Structures are given as C-alpha cells and as structure tokens.
Amino acid sequence: MAVYTEVDDDELEAFLATYDIGELRSYKGIAEGVENSNFLLHTTAGTYLLTLYEKRVAPEDLPFFLGLMNHVASKGIACPVPIRDRKGEMLGTLAGRPAAIVSFLEGLSVRKPQPKHCAELGAGLARFHLAGADFPLRRANALTVSGWRPLFEASRARADEVSRGLAAELADELSALEASWPHDLPQGVIHADLFPDNVFFIGEHLSGVIDFYFACNDTLAYDLAICLNAWCFEHDGSFNITKARALTQAYNHVRPLDAAELAALPLLARGSAMRFLLTRLYDWLHHPPGALVKPKNPLEYLKRLRFHRSLSSPAAYGLD
C-alpha cells in the first residue's frame, strides 16, 4: 500500500488551514500507487487528493510537474489541477515532506483496455502533446537512452538470477540502442508513464490522466511507443494489432506523425521496452524484504522488446 508517511490529524488540520478548501470531513490513505503517499480528502468544499512526495521524487522537479498539470489543464486536458494555498503557492510541506493538494478526478482505470480505450488514449495523448508545446519549464529525461547503461550496470551482475542469459541479451540490446537511437525527432513535453493505471475512463470515454511524476522533455513519438507497450499487449504476452491500430491512428489523426517518426517507431518501442525492463529489473533485485509494494515483473518487457526487435516497419502497429 502506498502510504509511506503517516500524517497526524492535527498536522493535517493545520496544513489545510493554509488553504481555502473548506473544513475537513474525513480522509483516508490510498492503497494504489508506487512512488508517493496519497490521501483522499473530503472537505465541506468537495473531494481532493493530497500527495506527500517521497524520496524518489526530487523536490526541485516539483515546480515542473505541478506547473505542467496547471498548464495543460488550462488548455482543456482533463488532469488534476493543483490547488493554490492562501499565499498562491502550489507546493507546501507536511510531515516533513513536500506536499500538494490537487483536484480529484472522476473515473476508473481499466484493467483490460479495449480498442475503444486505446483510440481515446491515442487522441488524448496527441492533445496532451499539443497542449504542452508552449509550456515554458524544462526537465531532462533521466530515463532516456543515456540513463539506461548506469541502470543496467546496477543490475547486470545479478540479472541472470531473473532469467538465464538476460545480462548478455541486455548488453547487446543496449549497445544496439545506443548506436541507433534517434536524437532529431520532434521534441516536446511527454508524460512518460502513461500506463492503464494512470488513465481514467467513464464508460468508454477518457475522463482524466494522472501521475505526471515522470513527465519531461523528450521525443514525442517515444511517448506513443510507451503506450504501445503498456496498452497493446495481452496478458499472455501477445501483441494486439487491433489495439495498436486504434491507438496509433487516433494519435495520428490529432497530431500527424512525420515520416521520420513513423520509421523510428519500432526502435522507439524497443527503447521504451528496455526502459521499463531496466527499472523493473532494478526494483526486482533491490527491493527490501517485506517492502510495501510488490515489484512488477521485468520479463513481461523482455518479450515486448523481442517483439519490436523483430519488426522492420511501422505497418505492424497499424500505420502505413
């Protein structure tokens, strides 16, 4: 369960008194999530989400994340809106942690996305990219190609405990990605973690996007490649081209991909599979016994990586 920092009632009341969001009626910790401590707040003015930022979020990045949510929300993207305190600040301190309150989003994430959900996602992602185009702050992606080798080296010696031959396969793959990674594709603000648990739907319609805490400036089509990996594979590891077609065509309709982006898509998808494989591998090998959050299976992403490596054209994703 993702409540790492407990908050006592008096501290919370004092914190809320610095905001103009009514009186606290009730609150509870939220079990989902991995990185931060989240609480649902019910006040006389409505429902809000309180986040205490834990160790893996660098405090200096918070103005980027909160500013981005504020910026894209002002352009019509359905996402949490940071609530300002009476002094106009979006960020405060609670229980010794940086803390923020954001608006609560209605909707539910889907466990088994269908093509309709993928189409909604594709259009929503493209709109998010367009909305972020004039966001003035910058944040480099620590988990792009240059960050993968240190991550790999931190797990390399024990990688074969997870699967025999994994260290050698990843070493080869990493060298190939480093040698061919595209650096001149259209850039912008990307979400970088748009997994099904971070997208809410009401019925088949996208009602909101959350968890902007990996957002950064990077290759726009890489965000689409992340979604291909996270949304278009079945639980048995097979690729679902119907979902991929729905995702990529809906994206392309709102923000047309240029020829270079299209051609690079299999490579970007390989890279994206590598990125999630490496963070999962690290967490798998390094999580303390009895940790609150169960690490995710890195090998799911090895299968995806191999699939993308076998492709030679973006037609496999439903794009010609």
Ligand X SMILES: N[C@@H](CCOP(=O)(O)O)C(=O)O
Identify the DSSP state of 140.
B
- Cβ 228 vs Cβ 264: under 8 Å: no
Q: Between residue 24 and residue 53, which ones bind ligand X under the rule CB under 6 A?
A: 33-35
Tokens found for residue 85: 């305190």
Q: Between residue 296 and residue 315, which ones bind ligand X under the rule CB under 6 A?
A: 296
105 is a site residue for ligand X (CB under 6 A): no
105 is a site residue for ligand ADP (CB under 6 A): yes
User: Given the DSSP bridges, would you call strands 46-52 and 205-209 parallel, antiparallel or unpaired?
Assistant: unpaired
Cβ closest to ligand ADP, residue 109 vs residue 249? 109
3-state secondary structure of 148: helix
Q: Annotate each residue in 157-196 with x if it binds ligand X (CB under 6 A) or - if it does not, as one string.
A: ------------------------------------x-x-
Beta bridge partners of 208: 200
- With CB atoms as reference, the residue minimizing the distance to ligand X is 34
Q: Annotate each residue in 80-99 with x if it binds ligand ADP (CB under 6 A) or - if it does not, as one string.
A: x-------------------
Phi, psi at 309, each rounded to 5°: -65, -25
Shortest distance, position 24 Cβ to ligand X, whole Å: 26
If you count them, how many residues does the chain have? 320
Phi, psi at 55, each rounded to 5°: -60, -30
104 binding partner (options ligand ADP, ligand X, none; Cβ < 5 to 8 Å by kind): ligand ADP
105 binding partner (options ligand ADP, ligand X, none; Cβ < 5 to 8 Å by kind): ligand ADP
Residues 6+ apart with CB under 8 A from 196: 109, 110, 111, 113, 230, 231
Locate all alpha helices (DSSP H) within the chain, ordered by sequence: 9-16, 62-74, 115-131, 145-156, 166-180, 220-231, 241-254, 259-286, 299-309
Size of the site for ligand ADP (CB under 6 A): 18
197 is a site residue for ligand ADP (CB under 6 A): yes
Query: On the CB side of 272, how many CA atoms lie within 13 Å of its CA?
Result: 29
Tokens 């679902």 sit on residue: 240
Cβ closest to ligand X, residue 33 vs residue 266? 33
- Cβ 146 vs Cβ 174: under 8 Å: no
Q: Between residue 197 and residue 256, which ones bind ligand X under the rule CB under 6 A?
A: 197-198, 211
Q: What does the angle CA 31 – CA 35 – CA 37 come to, to the nearest 5 degrees?
A: 50
Shortest distance, position 193 Cβ to ligand X, whole Å: 5
Residue in 24, 29, 95, 104 binding ligand ADP, rule: CB under 6 A? 104
Cβ closest to ligand ADP, residue 169 vs residue 283? 283
Determine the Cα–Cα distance for residues 30 and 32; give it in Å rounded to an integer: 6
Task: Using the rule CB under 6 A, give the single segment among 39-47, 87-95, 273-281, 307-315 that binds ligand X.
Answer: 273-281
Size of the site for ligand X (CB under 6 A): 12
276 binding partner (options ligand X, ligand ADP, none; Cβ < 5 to 8 Å by kind): ligand X
Residue in 211, 218, 223, 261 binding ligand ADP, rule: CB under 6 A? 211
Residue in 7, 12, 15, 38 binding ligand ADP, rule: CB under 6 A? 38
- Cβ 248 vs Cβ 177: under 8 Å: no
Residues contributing to the site for ligand X (CB under 6 A): 33-35, 193, 195, 197-198, 211, 276, 279-280, 296
Residues contributing to the site for ligand ADP (CB under 6 A): 2, 30, 32-36, 38, 49, 80, 102, 104-105, 197-198, 210-211, 213
